[in-house]
Amino acid sequence: MADTTDTDDQISEDDWAAAMQEQAVVDAQPAAPKAAFQDFAQSGEKATTMQDYDMILDIPVQITVELGRTKLTIRHLLQLAHGSVVELDALAGEPMDVLVNGTLIAQGEVVVVNDKFGIRLTDIITPSERVRKVRGL
């Protein structure tokens, strides 16, 4: 019986050594990162089409055109009345900022079309420019 126990111990030690060797081989190979999202631009396929974006086209976004800003004390704010003028930090003729969900994406100039205000885009902010502004570069 003692021989059987020694044989069982020997087998389990051999199995353990084989498993450790297998794990060392696996650990030595760089693991490929798993993609969290579908890769739309896989090699050998045509460029991304509008069909790839269909799932996001109906998501609403908030677009804001900012004329300018200012800071007021509560005392001055309470003194405002009909006809009061509030001075803004933007100069006349300066481009207006166009924000989407609070992020600057473009600048433009005010236009009037059929008695409604609009904005003609004069400069589109590229994603790399947005990153530079965030980082303060």
| Domain containing residue 108 | 2-135
Nearest to 61 by CA among 96, 95, 99: 99
The answer to whether residue 104 scores a pLDDT higher than 60 is yes
pLDDT digits (tens, 9 = 90+) for 114-133: 988 889 999 998 888 877 77
What's the total number of domains in the chain? 1
Which CATH number does the domain housing residue 90 bear? 2.30.330.10
Q: Give me the pLDDT at residue 74, please.
A: 95
Q: What is the mean pLDDT of residues 12-32?
A: 70
Nearest to 121 by CA among 104, 96, 102, 103: 96
The CA distances from residue 3 to 8, 12, 17, 136, in Å, are 9, 14, 21, 74
Q: Give me the pLDDT at residue 103, please.
A: 86
Q: Give me the pLDDT at residue 44, please.
A: 47
* Whether 123 contacts 95, CB under 8 Å: yes
* Average pLDDT score, the chain: 78
More confident residue, 68 or 25: 68
pTM: 0.52
More confident residue, 3 or 87: 87
Instruction: Dig out the tokens for 79 from the structure.
Output: 């003194």
pLDDT digits (tens, 9 = 90+) for 44-99: 455 556 667 778 888 899 999 988 889 999 999 999 999 999 998 888 888 899 99
d(CA 127, CA 133): 10
